[in-house]
């Protein structure tokens, strides 16, 4: 298990550090794959089915991200899907960096007690690895007035049901 997680960490680090440096479109991962690859690497480390990119979820995510473009507020859409949101100050944040921030919450999740460490968040991580979730769609916007980058991913079926384990 430890070797699997080390491999995942290296893979995620490579994605987050190499993606912005690629300049030719043929070399650059599509926006969808920049979101999807780290999601599926985290799921693979647990032996879970990979998520599929869903255009309907991506349109919903883009619709909501466009609303946050004005204020970059970390507010959920309260829509019908599972949802992770990210904000980074400045610009140039990559989708893989946002997903890695969510995955890093793994350190705070205790499977046996099915809870987060005191005062910590781990719900972004558990949504990513929720075993019954099959589809994801995400979006990224740069907020007006230099407020930073906002990203959101929506998941269907949603996860994070109280009292249930993610996997």
* Tens digits of residue pLDDT in 41-63: 999 999 999 999 999 999 999 99
Set out the domains of the chain in order of their start, with CATH numbers. Answer: 29-75+82-156 (3.40.33.10)
Residue 1 pLDDT greater than 90, yes or no: no
Distance CA 108, CA 121 (A): 7
Which two structure tokens, joined as six digits, stand for 55? 């255009």
Q: What is the DSSP code (8-state) at residue 19?
A: G
Model's pTM, two decimal places?
0.84
* Tens digits of residue pLDDT in 79-122: 999 999 999 999 899 999 999 999 999 999 999 999 999 999 99
Residue 9 pLDDT greater than 50, yes or no: no
Which two structure tokens, joined as six digits, stand for 29? 């991962």
Average pLDDT over residues 68-80: 97
Residue 29 pLDDT greater than 80, yes or no: no
With DSSP H G I counted as helix, E B as strand and the rest as coil, what are the percentages for the chain, rounded to 5? Answer: 45, 20, 40
* Tens digits of residue pLDDT in 128-159: 999 999 999 999 999 999 999 999 999 999 99
Average pLDDT over residues 64-78: 97
Which two structure tokens, joined as six digits, stand for 37? 């690859």
């Amino acid at each position: 298990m430890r070797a699997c997680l080390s491999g995942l960490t290296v893979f995620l680090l490579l994605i987050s550090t190499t993606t912005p440096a690629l300049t030719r479109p043929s070399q650059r991962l599509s926006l969808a794959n920049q979101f999807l690859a780290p999601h599926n690497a985290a799921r693979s480390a647990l032996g879970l089915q990979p998520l599929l990119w869903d255009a309907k979820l991506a349109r919903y995510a883009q619709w909501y991200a466009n609303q946050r473009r004005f204020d970059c507020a970390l507010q959920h859409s309260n829509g019908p899907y599972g949802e992770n949101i990210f904000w980074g100050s400045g610009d140039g944040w990559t989708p893989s960096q946002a997903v890695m921030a969510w995955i890093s919450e793994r350190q705070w999740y205790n499977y046996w007690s099915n809870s987060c460490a005191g005062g910590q968040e781990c719900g972004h991580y558990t949504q990513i690895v929720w075993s019954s979730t099959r589809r994801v769609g995400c979006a990224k916007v740069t907020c007006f007035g230099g407020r930073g980058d906002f990203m959101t991913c929506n998941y269907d079926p949603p996860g994070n049901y109280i009292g249930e384990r993610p996997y």
